[in-house]
Structure 1
């Protein structure tokens, strides 16, 4: 597939240095598009601007054969929203199927054909309503996500990006919003009290702290989508979800929101994989929350102290060494540091246990391969395998 030229892409997009490359990788038997840093060729992150660049640089990197294409990262600093329509185009007829045609006509903004040739990307200016981001073949994002950009403009659609907030609300309500979304605000206080207490940190602060922790290198690697050291992406998904459970207090809603910003996010996350109708992502989050019993939860003193500091920051009032306020602050800091140290130690123990179990499993696999490699003669005569069966099961 040819790379887009700057003239093929709306000027509004190329004005931003929020471009990455992407390449297709096979993960769990499914092709997945992963973001690539044009400067290094390593994994890029939709939440790390250090891994982005301008359009020209990204295109140059891809044109050298180091990547399959280029993509744009949506952030809170730009006005754009991306609407991804999967399985929406008949590649033979070259036309959208009915439901997709309705969405494209309603949004009436720049629309292009996806890399696969079976979908569409619609780019608009607007604000995404709160709630889920995807249902079925319709996915909508406005931040912490990258979209592939092909420049294959769809005829009879605008060549520029237009503001379409009202149209977006309509599309979201009709195609994405959960039927129970409107009930969320009616949750009783007692039910809310039963939910896990999520960290009061912002997403950016939470990610920074996770990266700075003792196991921060592992978190950063998973966050970027690097599954090195894991036998499958599913194992890597679980590992990242356990870390997120620790930092969010086991809040599966917050964990889901964060995971969707990571480099591990893929289509499988929202696919129904179980008879009860639950998706792969929902089940992974719940399992991670269940097995992660230690959490990082800022104390109420720490939260109150943060608010107090913010309120008093403009003043010139100072505290003298040894004053009651200074002693209280020091005590809060020490308690906070001790809590982090204790929980990080527990995390290290859990990781060590996980490594031990993985080593045992690999050893068992190696033994199995040795058994399978026995010569036909040995197998037929019952040699080693027969002796093993007799030893294990008392069989003659």
Structure 2
């Protein structure tokens, strides 16, 4: 069977890379690649949609990045972008913006070895240049974020709707005190009782984190790593596209979450005539069956009802998983039965001879 060969090689040695390329050329593998880990000081910069495959020339913005980084550069598998490999430490903050992505761990890079003429053939230490490119092209810029005035959601560079972020400790406190707080706390502490596998428990916790973070993948990942469910499998590459088990779990949890928590700012009543009335309670209304936030009572009911919706959605997803598991067991049983029939037929044929 042809499979993907993942090769880890010392940046100071070319022999291992050449051997991997020779092996792939025999047809024994689809190609070669590299997995970034925390123990190897390598950074991969992926610049997409910036190269004309026919002309083979980069756009001006990509050319600027390639020249600044001044390290080994290859054409990406699609032919429409570039990979730059260098030594350094990836700066804090987000690691992607638009068509530019930067990775230093838990990421699989397909290596084409289609070297770009005029760039170094070695992987160089380029910390200052990395920081400069990150600051110019990737780092967070509050002035460019689009805030939806209706929902209070922040839309990031990928177009994903993100709720204005809660600090980690505040988020955990709210999650534990919510209507399904006991369930959250059990999962957070690593208790998988009630789930047939830890993977199902991982998914359940990630769905809860998706709700509370507004689908903020970086915060979800950061929080999950603090939970009792974290294990080495989280950073293992499990998928053909090079994504890890953790990355795919977060992606599926966000896609499965229809509703997100929306932090609210209490309305302060300034009228002298109504000040006494608003000291103890404030009226709230219903919109689409959900209590509108904006007061102490409204926020509480609003949050409880949204939590009920989320829990119902999680229960629905768990039932889907259970049904799929039953189907798998049924198909496995049918496969065993067919295999037994085939083996019996083969035995009968041998007896005839």
TM-score scaled to structure 2, two decimals? 0.48
TM-score scaled to structure 1, two decimals? 0.43
